[in-house]
Amino acid sequence: MVDGSGCISYLNSAAEIMLQVSAARTLGVPLTQLFTDDGTNNESIRDIYEALESRRPFTKRETHLNLSSGHSIVVDCAVTPFQPADYGDVAVIVELQPIDRWLRISREEGIISAQQSTRALLRGLAHEIKNPLGGLRGAAQLLDRDLSDDSQRDYTRIIIEEADRLRGLVDRMLGPRRELQPSSINIHEVLEYVRQLLSAEPGVGERLKRDYDPSIPELMGDREQLIQAVLNVVRNALQAGEAMTPPSSITLRTRAVSQFSIGVHSYRLVVRVDVIDSGPGVPEDLAQSLFFPMVSGRAEGTGLGLSIAQSILNQHRGLIEFTSEPGNTVFSFYIPLEDHHD
C-alpha cells in the first residue's frame, strides 16, 4: 500500500519476498527507493503517482521492474485507489503478480513447438526434393555411360555432383538422423574437446576462456552429438567477432541449476553451459528466427549450425536460449541431469 505522499504504508510477506526487502525497513520509505532508477521503473512509479492524484485504477501487463537489490522481475501490476477508514489522503493498493516463470514456460514451449513444426516441414520437403533429385541423378548417370565425347560428359558430371550437393544440403537441414547413443559423460570433457579442436586454428586459442564448476556430476548424453552442438555455437561466436579489433573473446562457463523447468517439465538439477562472447551481438531482425534452418547473419553462412544444435539439445530433453546485446551475447545450453518431475 502506498499512501498519499508516495511512501509505503504496508507490505505483506509475499511482497517482501518478491521485492527482496523487509517491511520493517521499508515502511515510510518512498516507493522510488525500492527500484533502481531507469526509464521503465520511472514510468511505472509515475503511473502509480498519477493514480494517487486522479483516483483512477489501472492495470499494466508484463511490467519489467529492476529491484534495488540488482535483480529484475516481470509482473502484472494492478493499482487501485481507495479512501482509508480514517478519511485521510487517498492511498493506492499495488498488486504485483509475478509472471517470469509463466513467460519463460511460454517462450520455451514456443521454441520447442517451432522446432518440431520446422522438422516436420523439412521432412516433407526433403521427400519432395530427394525423389526428383534421384531421378535426375540416375538419368545423368545413364546418359554419361552412352556419351563418348569427354567434353559432353563434363556436363553430366556437373548434374551428378550438383544433385549430390543438394541431397547433402537437405540431409544437413534435417539435422542428426541417427538415434542417440547415450553414455555417462563429463560435460567438461566435451567442452575441452571443442576448445582444443578450435585452438588448433590460428589466433583462436587466446580468444577462448574457461569458467567451469568442477562439482557438476556426469550426465547421460550422446558425446558426439553434444560436441557437434557446442562446436556449432562456439564457431558461430568466433566468426561473428573475428572482424573486431581486437577479435572478440569467448568464455565457456558451466553451472548447476536446481529446481529448473524446461517447457512444462520441472527438473531437480540441470546443467547450464553458457557460451559468452563479447562480439557485436545478434541482429534484432534475426532474433526471433535464429534457430530456423537457412537463417544466417553472414552472407557465406548456411544457417544450419544453430538449427542443428537446437535439434540435438531437444533430443537430450534440453534447450538452447540466448540473450544478446553488443559486447555481451550469451547462448545457454540447458541439459537435465535426471528425469523430469511434473
DSSP string, 126-182: HHHHHHHHHHHHHHHHHHHHH---HHHHHHHHHHHHHHHHHHHHHHHHH---SPP--
Q: Is the pLDDT of residue 193 over 90?
A: yes
Contact between 29 and 13 under an 8 Å Cβ cutoff? The reply is no
Average of per-residue pLDDT values in the chain: 83
- How far does the chain reach from its first CA to its final CA, in angstroms? 36
What is the per-residue pLDDT across 65-112, written as a single tens digit (0 to 9) for each?
888 877 778 888 899 988 876 656 788 999 988 887 666 666 666 666
If pLDDT is split at 50, 70 and 90, which confidence band does 248 have?
A: confident
| pLDDT of 38 | 59
pLDDT value at residue 311 = 84
Considering the domain boundaries, does residue 7 fall inside one?
no
Res 297 pLDDT > 60: no
The answer as to whether 141 is a domain residue is yes
246 cis-preceded (ω within 30 degrees of 0): yes
Following CA atoms 218, 224, 227, 231 in sequence, which dihedral angle do they give, to the nearest 10 degrees? -170
The CATH number of the domain holding residue 19 is 3.30.450.20
Q: For residue 316, how many other CB atoms are within 10 A of its CB?
A: 20
pLDDT score of 180: 80
Shared-domain flag, residues 114 and 257 = no
77, 127: one domain: no
Task: Give the Å distances, CA to CA, from 8 to 23, 33, 85, 89.
Answer: 9, 10, 17, 13
Lowest average pLDDT, out of 131-140, 166-175, 254-263, goes to 166-175
Residue 143 pLDDT exceeds 80 = yes
**The three grid cell numbers given for residue 242, joined into one nine-digit string:** 573475428
Residue 172 has pLDDT above 90, yes or no: no
Number of domains making up the chain = 3
Query: Per mean pLDDT, which range of 21-25, 223-227, 241-245, 267-271 is the poorest?
Result: 241-245
Task: Assess if residue 341 is contained within a domain.
Answer: no
Neighbour count for residue 157 (Cβ, 10 Å): 13
Average pLDDT on 248-262 reads 89
Domain containing residue 332: 183-336
Which of these, 210, 280, 273, lies nearest to 238 by C-alpha position?
Answer: 280
Q: CA 341, CA 262: separation in Å to the nearest integer?
A: 11
| Residue 230 to residue 315: CA distance in whole angstroms | 14
Taking only Cα atoms into account, the Rg of the chain, rounded to an integer number of angstroms, comes to 27
Q: Look at residues 56, 80, 98 and tell me which one is the last residue of a structural domain.
A: 98
The sheet carrying 72-82 orders its strands as: 58-66, 72-82, 91-98
Domain boundary among 151, 174, 197: 174
107/94 same-domain check: no
Q: Which carries the bigger pLDDT value, residue 116 or residue 46?
A: 46
Last residue of a domain, which of 98, 118, 136?
A: 98
